[in-house]
Amino acid sequence: MRMFLRIARNDASRRKGSMAVVSAFVTLSSLLIAVGVNLVVELNGALDRLFSAAKVPHFVQMHTGTIDEQRINRWATETGMVEETQISRMISLDGRSLTFSSSEVSEEESVMDLSIVRQNSVFDFLLDRDNRIARPESGEIGVPVYYAERRGVEIGDTVELSGDGFSRSFTVFALIQDAQMNPAIVHSKRFLVSENDYRELKNHFPESEYLIEFRLSEPDMVGDFAEAYQSADLPDLGPAVDFRLFRMLNALSEGMVAAVVVMLSLLLMIIALLCLRFTILAAMEEDYREIGIMKAVGMNRRHIRRISLVKYVVLSLFAGLSGYFLSLTVNLLLGRGIGFESGFSAAPPPGGLFHDFHHYRIG
């Protein structure tokens, strides 16, 4: 064994350049794949916690117009698939009616659809940064985390709502996490106010929309439920979405980062394997005399192969472990955006896919 190690050490010292290149590629590939896997695991766990704390609806039908709540509740009971039903009315705002003190400019140029809501009582809760159900007092408002990242809004800032002959300022008491509308690629944002303020604002901003929401006893039946809803001639003047789309949208921005990291790590791993192969072939070409001498003194192929490969195995193990330990530090940097506190936000690209959505317009 000592002879093997001595031969391998001497051989490695003669090829420092090629060894350094191979080591660098193996380290980088192991670093990136460890980071990518960690991002996927962290993102999946964060989404599970967010959806659980917010009690995300399994199916949501947007509707603009009048509704018959009793008919909807009666139908939901008769289907046998619904566990809980909730109808939430949202006050629609024009962008020019809302101004943040941090920017002192109205949201007139914003592409977002803005709504004022009160806290839901059954499910689809809006959470604060500590994952608790946000409960505003009179004169307070909860602002989506999107505006903390894009407009620099902080707790304690003021938000002014104004309309025809009406103006009122609210104090930001919390940055709101909305499991349905958190992602910036969802062009809809809900602002949370107290019950009393909601009633007052409803008189000054008459336009509204409804979220007709359901939680099912068996979430896997959401496809059948959606078909049943569409065929029941119930309110449907708006898009219908389910929890699978909510999860995909929330995961999209951070998931893309993780996917890119994993793809890059696989590419580097392929390059490292190619470098390793060519290095071994070049070394064998240079060492054919030494290999002939080893055969002449009676060494079998298994021993010669072990001598030739042991240095590369040790090199790969060392480089792989180095990449893993480096990933522990990189994970702290890349993982900061994952979790409830991140809002899962990403800057919306211009234009937009599914731009026909009246409320869930995805950019």
User: Which is higher by pLDDT, 224 or 341?
Assistant: 224
pLDDT in tens, 185-231: 888 999 999 999 999 999 999 899 999 999 999 999 999 999 999 99
- Residues 212 and 125 reside in one and the same domain: yes
- Residues 108 and 206 reside in one and the same domain: yes
Number of independent structural domains in the chain: 2
Question: Does residue 27 sit within a domain?
Answer: yes
pLDDT in tens, 88-146: 999 999 889 999 988 778 888 888 899 999 999 999 999 998 889 999 999 999 999 99
For the ranges 240-254, 281-295, 332-346, the lowest mean pLDDT is seen at 332-346
pLDDT in tens, 43-52: 888 888 889 9
What is the band of 82 on the pLDDT scale with cuts at 50, 70, 90?
A: very high
- Residues 274 and 318 reside in one and the same domain: yes
Question: Does residue 348 sit within a domain?
Answer: no
Coil, strand or helix: which one is 152?
A: coil
Give the span between the Cα atoms of 153 and 149, in whole angstroms. 7
Which of 227, 249, 271 represents a domain boundary (last residue)? Answer: 249
Name which of 238, 213, 210, 237 is nearest 225 in CA terms. 213
Which of 205, 225, 249 represents a domain boundary (last residue)? Answer: 249
In the chain, the percentage of residues whose pLDDT exceeds 90 is 40
- Residues 114 and 201 reside in one and the same domain: yes
Q: Note the Cα 249 to chain centre separation in Å.
A: 7
- The pTM of the full predicted model, rounded to 2 decimals, is 0.74
User: Which is higher by pLDDT, 255 or 134?
Assistant: 134
- Residues 196 and 116 reside in one and the same domain: yes
Give the span between the Cα atoms of 55 and 39, in whole angstroms. 24
Question: What does DSSP say about strands 140-144 and 166-176: parallel, antiparallel, or unpaired?
Answer: parallel
Which residues of the chain form beta strands (DSSP E)?
59-63, 82-93, 98-100, 113-117, 140-144, 158-163, 166-176, 188-193, 208-216, 240-242
Give the span between the Cα atoms of 113 and 90, in whole angstroms. 11
Neighbour-count burial of 255, counting CB atoms closer than 10 A to its CB (0-12 exposed, 13-18 middle, 19+ buried): middle
User: Which is higher by pLDDT, 291 or 163?
Assistant: 163
Residues of the domain holding 69: 57-249
- Residues 115 and 239 reside in one and the same domain: yes
- Residues 214 and 137 reside in one and the same domain: yes
Give the span between the Cα atoms of 117 and 254, in whole angstroms. 28
Give the span between the Cα atoms of 150 and 359, in whole angstroms. 20
- Residues 19 and 96 reside in one and the same domain: no
CA 216, 218, 52, 236 torsion-angle sign = negative
Which of 231, 249, 267 represents a domain boundary (last residue)? Answer: 249
Question: Does residue 354 sit within a domain?
Answer: no
- Residues 36 and 9 reside in one and the same domain: yes
